[in-house]
Amino acid sequence: MSTMDLQEFLASEATHDRDDLVDLRALDFVSSYDSHLMCPICHCPFVEPVRLQCDHVFCYKCLQSAITIFRSADTDEFPCPSCRTPTSRVSTSVPRLLINMCDEIQVQCPLQAEGCAEVLPRGHVQSHVDKYCGYRLVPCPDDSCEKTIRKKDLQSEERCLHGYFRCSRCEEDVMEKDYEEHDEELCPSLETSCVDCGTTLPQRELKKHVDTCPDVVSPCSASKYGCPVKIRRADSAIHEQICPLVSMGPYFEAQNTRLNSLELTMRHLQQRNEIFEDGMANIRTTLLESARAGRGSNRRRSLTEDDMNPTRSEDDESAERSSNVFSSNATTYLLSLHESLREEVNQVSHALTDLDARASMTIMNECLRIKEDMAHTNAAVNSVRLQVQWLMNPRLHNGARTGGIRSNTATPGNETARSQLTSTSAPGSSSAAGSSLGPLRPRRPSDSGREGTKL
Amino acid sequence: MGSQKRIAKELSELVESPPAGISVELADEANLYEWKVHMKGPEGSPYQGGVFLLKLSLPTAYPFKPPTVSFATKIYHPNVTNDEKGSMCLGMLRADEWKPSSKISAVLQFARQLLAEPMPDDAIEGRIAEQYRNDRQRYDEVAREWTRKHAAHQ
């Protein structure tokens, strides 16, 4: 069953938290672990994680105590300890991944205090303690004996090792399980001598002795500054008073630290210098590029479009050469090339817009001039036409008169023709004249218009 | 039982890598539930230069119940009672606001933040809150004066 309500959950028992099992929360963790693997309640990696409806995960046991404390008696809900979402169901199915990650964390064997140095994944601790760890205390195989014994001391012989032995040398009673250790190290009768002073002393005190033995020969404390003297510990005080290197020691120390810090600064400066040099090289390449590009574009302007490509490739070659000289960095080189090309394109487009503006200006100027000219010409033509009409009028009159004579009509005379010239007051005569003189209608000189020109 | 383990863990974390301006120790080596906290007044606040002693006590039901924090050093602050107790009003420490996932280090950092930016809307000392709102300069002066008098660094 993967989900249950609170009652069931409280009634159920966590499998990992029984007393006879290793307490996984008390373990020493060797490495740090991801904080997401930490139960928000006990701050340990999850032990038997369970999940709430709001997707928050807790240890089984932690959640049980949280529910007992937070649940209000009359409801079947309790607030999630992380987000306070009311929750009534607990799911025991959490991603396998989470459990594996928690079980993988490296821990010390819980019997570290007894001497086990084993480091193992948390998931294996239980079986290690149960089966393999030699430092676990197990009850003595002899039923009459009530003591416990380390598993590794038990070895294969299944018998009580709690009987006392009398050490043959020191006459001390030693329990059988400790006898080996006693025999090899702890027995006071075991003696050894200090290599330096020749004193004989019990073996277990040797270590302490060597640290204080006045006869141990050790190098002078200023040996790292070159003092060759090796001297007995007892005499070292006298030597240190006369040894010039010892008195110089602090000074050397200070110098050393200064040197170190200076070196550090040097390295910083070198790095910065390198950066600047790189930058310089870049700038130089870019400059060279743009200079070449300027030349190239000048040339290009004089060339036709078909010649563009050869120029470009020539540019590339020379740029390559310069790149070998100034910068080994291909990317930087490409970037600078790109930059210079962009510059060039910009220049060209500027020139284009310039030209465009200039051309349109000229065209406008030209237009204006032409318009003016046309107006002048129009006026001239008009005046010429007027003159022509004025000049034409007498001839028209003559023509009318001769026409009238030729057709022998009674009414038209010099007078009527003149009266028609000045006014068309007499409709009868005018209509008669109109019908007879159709194409040669007389006009007043002030008459303007194109009808006149259609003459 | 579980609470002790968690408290010990949080304590060792706080001792090993203390948050800025905060140092923590047990008031009594034998008792995990009473802590002494030294908090430096945050820079830029009128409490700058002072070191305040806080008492933090943890309930046995920790982390299910919130810890309580009080100022042992007198402090002029709208959110700290101006009496012997020096109780502090921290929103996250109220029983209904507390979450077991909150850590003590977060509580302490929050407390220090409160020194830098008092919350006059949540004040216990209404008079100081009033002053903080209306006469900031005077408030700064008094707080600085109190810091000098009570929390000067020995």
List the domains of chain B with CATH numbers: 2-153 (3.10.110.10)
B95 lies within 8 A of chain A by CB: no
pLDDT, mean of residues A149-176: 71
CA distance A354 to B88: 75
Mean of pLDDT values over B92-116: 86
* Distance between A41 CA and the closest CA of chain B, angstroms: 6
Asked whether the bond before B120 is cis by omega within 30 degrees of 0, the reply is no
Fold of A3-132: Herpes Virus-1 (3.30.40)
HSE (CB half, 13 Å, CA atoms) of A33? 21
Residue A381 pLDDT level (bands cut at 50, 70, 90): very high
The predicted-structure confidence for A243-254, as pLDDT tens digits, reads as follows 888 888 888 899
pLDDT, greater one: A405 or A96: A96
Task: Tell me if chain B has a CB within 8 Å of the CB of A40.
Answer: yes
CA distances from A252 to A131, A244, A263 (A): 58, 12, 16
Q: Residue A359's pLDDT is what?
A: 95
A115 torsion bin: left (phi>0), alpha (psi -120 to 50), beta (else): left
Would you state the pLDDT for residue A427? 45
**Beta-carbon count within 10 A of A59 CB:** 27
User: Can you say whether residue A408 is alpha, beta or left, with left for phi > 0 and alpha for psi between -120 and 50 degrees?
Assistant: left
| CB-CB under 8 Å, B63 with A44 | no
Neighbour-count burial of A379, counting CB atoms closer than 10 A to its CB (0-12 exposed, 13-18 middle, 19+ buried):
exposed
Find where tokens 């930058």 sit.
A279
B125 Cβ neighbours under 8 A, 6+ residues apart? B77, B78, B79, B80, B81, B82
CA A410-A413-A419 angle, 5° bins: 125
Type of residue numbered A327: S
What is the pLDDT averaged over residues A212-235? 78
Average pLDDT, stretch A40-66? 87
B89 is catalytic: yes
- Residue A380 pLDDT more than 50? yes
How high does pLDDT run on average in chain B?
A: 85
Task: Indicate yes or no: CB of B100 within 8 angstroms of CB of A25.
Answer: no
Tokens linked to A114? 């007894």
> Cβ-count burial of B37 within 10 angstroms (0-12 exposed, 13-18 middle, 19+ buried)?
buried
pLDDT computed for residue A422 by the predictor: 46
Q: Report d(CA B151, CA B135) in Å as an integer.
A: 23
Token code pair at residue B90: 């921290």
Q: Specify the pLDDT at position A156.
A: 62
* Cα–Cα distance measured from residue A130 to residue A117, given in angstroms and rounded to the nearest whole number: 16
C-alpha A58/C-alpha A82 separation (Å) is: 9
Distance (Å) from the C-alpha of residue A73 to the closest C-alpha of chain B?
A: 16
Q: Where do the domains of chain A lie? A: 3-132, 138-186
* Residue A298 backbone dihedrals phi, psi, to 5 degrees: -60, -50
**Do the two domains A3-132 and A138-186 of this chain adopt the same fold?**
yes
Q: What would the two tokens of residue B118 be?
A: 């008092």
Mean pLDDT on A253-278: 94
pTM of this prediction?
A: 0.49
The answer on pLDDT for B40 being more than 80 is: yes
Which residues, 6+ apart, have CB-to-CB distance to A280 below 8 Å?
none
Percent share of chain A, pLDDT over 70 = 75
A217/A231 Cα distance (integer angstroms): 5
* Separation of alpha carbons B33 and B45, rounded Å: 30
Exposure string (b/e) for A271-280, b if CB count within 10 Å is 16 or more? eeeeeeeeee
What is the residue-wise DSSP string for A22-86?
Answer: --GGGPPBSS---GGGB-TTT-SB-SSEEEETTS-EEEHHHHHHHHHHH--TT-S-EE-TTT--E
**pLDDT digits 0-9 by tens, B2-39:** 678 888 888 888 888 888 888 898 888 888 889 999 99
pLDDT band at A430 (very low <50, low <70, confident <90, very high): very low
Does the CB of B63 have a partner CB in chain A at under 8 Å? yes
Checking if the pLDDT of A98 tops 70, the result is yes
**Nearest CA to CA, how far is B29 from chain A (Å)?**
20
Question: From residue A228, how far is each of A150, A225, A242, A243, A248 by CA, in Å?
Answer: 52, 9, 14, 10, 15
Subunit contact B64:A69, Cβ cutoff 8 A: yes
- What is the model's pLDDT at position B133? 87
User: Which fold, A138-186?
Assistant: Herpes Virus-1 (3.30.40)
Mean pLDDT across A299-324: 52
User: Which pair of tokens denotes residue A348?
Assistant: 């060209």
Q: Is the ipTM of this complex over 0.85?
A: no
pLDDT by residue (tens digit) across A313-368? 555 555 555 545 555 578 888 898 999 999 999 999 999 999 999 999 999 999 99
Contact A169, A190 (CB under 8 A): yes
With CB atoms and an 8 Å threshold, state whether B2 touches A25. Answer: yes
